[in-house]
Chain A
Amino acid sequence: MIKEPKISENQREIWREPLNFGRFAVPKGEIHIFPERCKECNYCTNYCPNQVLERSPEVNVYGYHPVRVREDKKDSCVACGMCQSICPDFAIFVKEVKIQ
């Protein structure tokens, strides 16, 4: 029986660093948001493993505060796709950026 893990403050904490860890490039993502579709459910802001997203103070035509990328986390998206796959409103998606 596998108990679902509880969300920890920093989910990406590495318990034991693999020996060849330095050889792997961490993927990078570019976030695209449709602000008019966002209904402020906060799933993406809560479930993003790197806390990349936040609600913006702006208001869309339906009266919701759409999400945006946090200024201090502009380079922290790892293109895991979590936000895209749990957004009920098809309001956010990620494109993986090729790292040279």
Chain B
Amino acid sequence: MTEVEYHPKHDLIREERFPHVWCPGCGLGIELQCYLNALEKSGIPQNNHVLVSGIGCTARIPGYANLDTYHTTHGRGLPFATGMKIANPDLKVTVISGDGDLFNIGGNHFIHAARRNMDLLVICSNNFNYGMTGGQHGSTTPPTSKSASTPYGNIEPTFNLPYIASALGASYVARWTVMHPRQLTKSIRTAMDVKGFAFIEVLSPCPPNFGKFNGFKDGFEEMEFYRKSSVVQNDAKLEDISIDPFHGKDIVLGDFVNRKRASYITLEHELIDRIRGGGQ
């Protein structure tokens, strides 16, 4: 009799659900693996980690993690996670969702969670489009690139996510691609210890939609293009790092911001202690 063989991440994934729904060459599985690697190294018990998402292909990541996971409604992962963190501050709450979910329909929630320096880790996988619904463009689609809804090229300016997160006051800000699994794992691991709002943008290929519309034969070609366009520059000036690789501009990656700023939970608990202690 042959023994049943399991993946080394068996205890952390819902292995019975594999193969997963994502397309060949989709980067989301790598992102899941990096998150789980970081979780293993975090020293925080598996039971204390929760993973929350909105709607989209990325938002299906929690469904494969063997944790308490919450697949909420479109764009609402952040308010849901905020409530959970306030109700039970012992939890390590991570929100993992797509660029469309976090910055288009859910953009206002992002602004306010970062402004409050809410104690959450937010991992945004940016595939430059709405993958799940067939590849429409959004606020993260690079200039002149094509999509299902910009067949002649995108004329809109693009959100620069690390710059936005930093300007809003996030404690931690980074950007990596799924082709940097070690750096990404390290970044997620570091962000798990951050007090306050931690934001990581992860660039990920979407071969049948964004890739196909922009002339990439398959996921590997798209991935190679991002990898070769990348430079690591931790001290980059964030206002300069918007993503525009189709005009020869380097994609700047790095751990950009890691600063101490009073977090929401810290201030809230200080307030509670002060009031309970008879102060005002």
Q: Which residues of A contact B (CB under 8 A)?
A: 1-4, 6-7, 32, 34, 36-37, 39-43, 46, 62, 64, 84-91, 93
With A62-B19, A87-B29, A88-B27 as contacts: A93 and B179 at CB distance below 8 Å: no
**Shortest beta-carbon distance from B251 to chain A in Å:** 10
**Shortest beta-carbon distance from A92 to chain B in Å:** 9
Other contacts beyond A42-B220, A85-B37, A90-B33: 17, CB < 8 A: A2-B231, A4-B227, A4-B230, A4-B232, A37-B18, A40-B24, A41-B25, A42-B218, A85-B34, A86-B179, A87-B30, A87-B33, A88-B25, A89-B19, A90-B18, A90-B29, A93-B8
Q: Which residue of A lies closest to B7 (CB)?
A: A90
Complex Cα gap A62–B23 (Å): 12
Of the candidates A3, A32, A86, the one whose C-beta lies within 8 Å of that of B30 is A86
Complex Cα gap A99–B218 (Å): 38
5 residue pairs A–B, Cβ–Cβ below 8 Å: A1-B231, A39-B23, A41-B24, A41-B220, A89-B19
B259 proximal to A (CB < 8 A): no
**Shortest beta-carbon distance from B59 to chain A in Å:** 16
In the complex, are the beta carbons of B19 and A1 less than 8 A apart?
no
The 4 closest A-B CB pairs, nearest first, are: A88-B29, A39-B24, A41-B25, A85-B181
Q: Which residues of B contact A36 (CB under 8 A)?
A: 19
Q: Which residue of B lies closest to A89 (CB)?
A: B29
In the complex, are the beta carbons of A4 and B218 less than 8 A apart?
no
**Shortest beta-carbon distance from B37 to chain A in Å:** 8
In the complex, are the beta carbons of A41 and B7 less than 8 A apart?
no
In the complex, are the beta carbons of B26 and A88 less than 8 A apart?
yes
B205-225 interface (Cβ within 8 A of A):
218-220, 223-224
Of the candidates A7, A40, A85, the one whose C-beta lies within 8 Å of that of B33 is A85
Q: Which residues of B contact A86 (CB under 8 A)?
A: 30, 178-179, 181
Q: Which residue of A lies closest to B19 (CB)?
A: A37
Q: Which residues of A contact B15 (CB under 8 A)?
A: 90
Q: Which residues of B contact A1 (CB under 8 A)?
A: 231-233
B16 proximal to A (CB < 8 A): no
In the complex, are the beta carbons of B219 and A41 less than 8 A apart?
yes
Q: Which residues of B contact A87 (CB under 8 A)?
A: 29-30, 33
Q: Which residues of A contact B23 (CB under 8 A)?
A: 39
Q: Which residues of B contact A4 (CB under 8 A)?
A: 227-228, 230-232
With A34-B7, A89-B20, A93-B8 as contacts: A43 and B228 at CB distance below 8 Å: no
B182 proximal to A (CB < 8 A): yes
Q: Which residue of A lies closest to B185 (CB)?
A: A85
**Shortest beta-carbon distance from A31 to chain B in Å:** 12
With A34-B7, A37-B19, A90-B9 as contacts: A6 and B228 at CB distance below 8 Å: yes
Complex Cα gap A93–B15 (Å): 14
In the complex, are the beta carbons of A88 and B30 less than 8 A apart?
yes
0/1 interface trace, chain B 179-190, chain A, CB 8 Å (1 if under): 101100000000
B22 proximal to A (CB < 8 A): yes
Of the candidates A7, A42, A89, the one whose C-beta lies within 8 Å of that of B18 is A89
**Shortest beta-carbon distance from A89 to chain B in Å:** 6
Complex Cα gap A2–B227 (Å): 12
Q: Which residue of B lies closest to A37 (CB)?
A: B19
**Shortest beta-carbon distance from A75 to chain B in Å:** 21
Q: Could you say which of A6, A7, A40, A42 has the most chain B C-beta atoms within 10 Å of its C-beta?
A: A42
